Amino acid sequence: MPDPRYAIKPNSNFEMLNQLLWLLINFGIVNTEIIEILDRTLTDLHPNLAKKHAHFTKKLEMDFLNEHIFPGNTNNGHPISYATLFSLTENSKEEQELYIQDFRNFIKYYLGSETFDLDKAVEEIRGQRDPRGYKGNVHSNKDLLVKI
């Protein structure tokens, strides 16, 4: 498998991966169920972001709703949207880069597997993390796209 080519800005990488995801859905290559599976996988891979989300959600509930607060480190036991999780990485470039690697590796894993096992996917994707590999594959935006 060729090395990935990452943009300088993690937000650009997120946008490109998100576009790829929706192109795969729109062309009927994958079903929309991939979104929920992606949410679950990235929530499991990034428990620190899930905790940050739970803390933020609890604060909002206390400040604005004053309702019952559900325990746990996820969104009331439900996976957190992959886009919401990424938005919680905004203060850490290293966290953004790790998240982008995981998002990319999820798509690669999903397309290459006949059946999806969440625990196996999380374990395999976690094993593919390589912060040095990310930094070694960053290219300027003009060098990103391969010409045919």
User: What are the tens digits of pLDDT across the range 98-138?
Assistant: 999 999 999 999 999 999 999 999 999 999 998 787 888 88
pTM of the complete model = 0.81
Cβ(10)–Cβ(135) below 8 Å: no
Would you state the pLDDT for residue 79?
78
Most confident of 5-14, 29-38, 49-58, 80-89: 29-38
Give me the residue spans of the domains in the chain: 6-139
User: What one-letter code names the amino acid at 49?
Assistant: L
pLDDT tens-place string over residues 20-74: 999 999 999 999 999 999 999 999 999 888 788 776 665 544 444 444 444 333 4
Distance of CA 39 to the CA centre of its chain: 7
Instruction: Say how far apart CA 10 and CA 91 lie, in whole Å.
Output: 12
**Taking 70 as the threshold, does the pLDDT of residue 11 lie above it?**
yes
Residue 133's CB: how many other CB atoms inside 10 A?
A: 14
